[in-house]
Chain A
Amino acid sequence: MSGYFTDIKDGIWTVLVGMTITWKHMFVKKVTIQYPDVKRELPDRVRNRLYVNMDDCIGCDQCAKACPVNCITIETLKALPTDDLGSTSTGNKKRLWMPVFDIDIAKCCYCGLCVFPCPTECIEMTDVFEFSEYHRKDLVYHFGTMTPEEITVKRAEVEEYQREQDAKKAAAAAAAAAAKKAEADAAAAAKASEAANIPPDTTAPVS
Chain B
Amino acid sequence: MESLLTSILGTNLLTTVIYCALPLVFVLTYALIAVLGEVKISAWMQDRLGPMRTGPWGIIQPLADVLKLLQKEDITPSASDKFLFNLAPFVTFMGSYAAFAAVPFSSQYIGASLDLGIFYVFAVGSIGVVGLMMAGWSSNNKYSMYGAMRSVAQIVSYEVPAAMALMIIVIYTGTLNLQDIIVAQGGGIWNWFVFGGPKADVVLASGRELQASWANLVFLPLFLATFVMYYVSALAETNRTPFDIPEAESELVSGYHTEYSGMKFAMFFMAEYANMFLVSVVASIAFFGGWQSPYGTTIGALVGVPWLSPVEEFLWLAFKGFFFVFVMIWLRWTLPRLRVDQLMYMCWKVLIPFSFGIALVVGFLVMIM
Contacts and interface: CB of A to CB of B under 8 A. Distances in A.
Interface in B324-354: 330-331, 333-335, 349-350
B49 A21 contact: no
Given A8-B350, A12-B228, A30-B44, A22 B49 contact: no
Chain B residues touching A, range: 10 to 19
Given A30-B44, A31-B47, A23 B52 contact: no
A84 to B, nearest CB: 55
A22 B336 CA distance: 13
B20 interface: no
B349 to A, nearest CB: 8
B47 A30 contact: yes
Nearest to A18: B334
Contact of B48 (A4, A8, A15, A31): A31
Contacts of A31: 47-48
A110 B110 CA distance: 69
A25 B49 contact: no
Given A8-B350, A34-B52, A15 B47 contact: no
B41 interface: yes
A31 B43 CA distance: 11
B11 interface: no
A65 to B, nearest CB: 47
B46 A25 contact: yes
Contact of B334 (A22, A27, A28): A22
A12 B331 CA distance: 12
A32 interface: yes
Contacts of B228: 12
Given A19-B330, A19-B334, A21-B334, A26 B41 contact: yes
Contact of B44 (A12, A15, A26): A26
A121 B330 CA distance: 57
Contacts of A27: 44
Chain A residues touching B, range: 10 to 19
A22 B47 contact: no
A28 B44 CA distance: 8
Contacts of B333: 22
Contacts of B49: 30, 32, 34
A192 B346 CA distance: 126
A178 B43 CA distance: 92
Interface string B63-98: 000000000000000000000000000000000000
A111 to B, nearest CB: 34
A104 B106 CA distance: 70
A23 B45 CA distance: 7
Contacts of A12: 228
Nearest to A29: B47
Contacts of B349: 4
Which residue, B45, B331, B335, B349, has most C-beta atoms of chain A within 10 A?
A: B45
Interface string B219-244: 00000000010000000000000000
A15 B331 CA distance: 8
Interface in A76-93: none
A19 B331 contact: yes
Contact of A32 (B48, B331, B335): B48
Given A22-B333, A23-B330, A30 B48 contact: yes
Interface of B: 41, 43-49, 52, 228, 330-331, 333-335, 349-350
26 contacts: A4-B349, A8-B350, A15-B334, A15-B335, A18-B334, A18-B335, A22-B45, A22-B330, A22-B333, A23-B330, A25-B44, A25-B46, A25-B47, A26-B41, A26-B45, A27-B44, A28-B47, A29-B47, A30-B47, A31-B47, A31-B48, A32-B47, A32-B48, A32-B49, A32-B52, A34-B52
Q: Which 8 A-B pairs have the closest CB atoms?
A: A32-B49, A18-B334, A26-B44, A22-B334, A22-B45, A30-B49, A31-B47, A32-B48
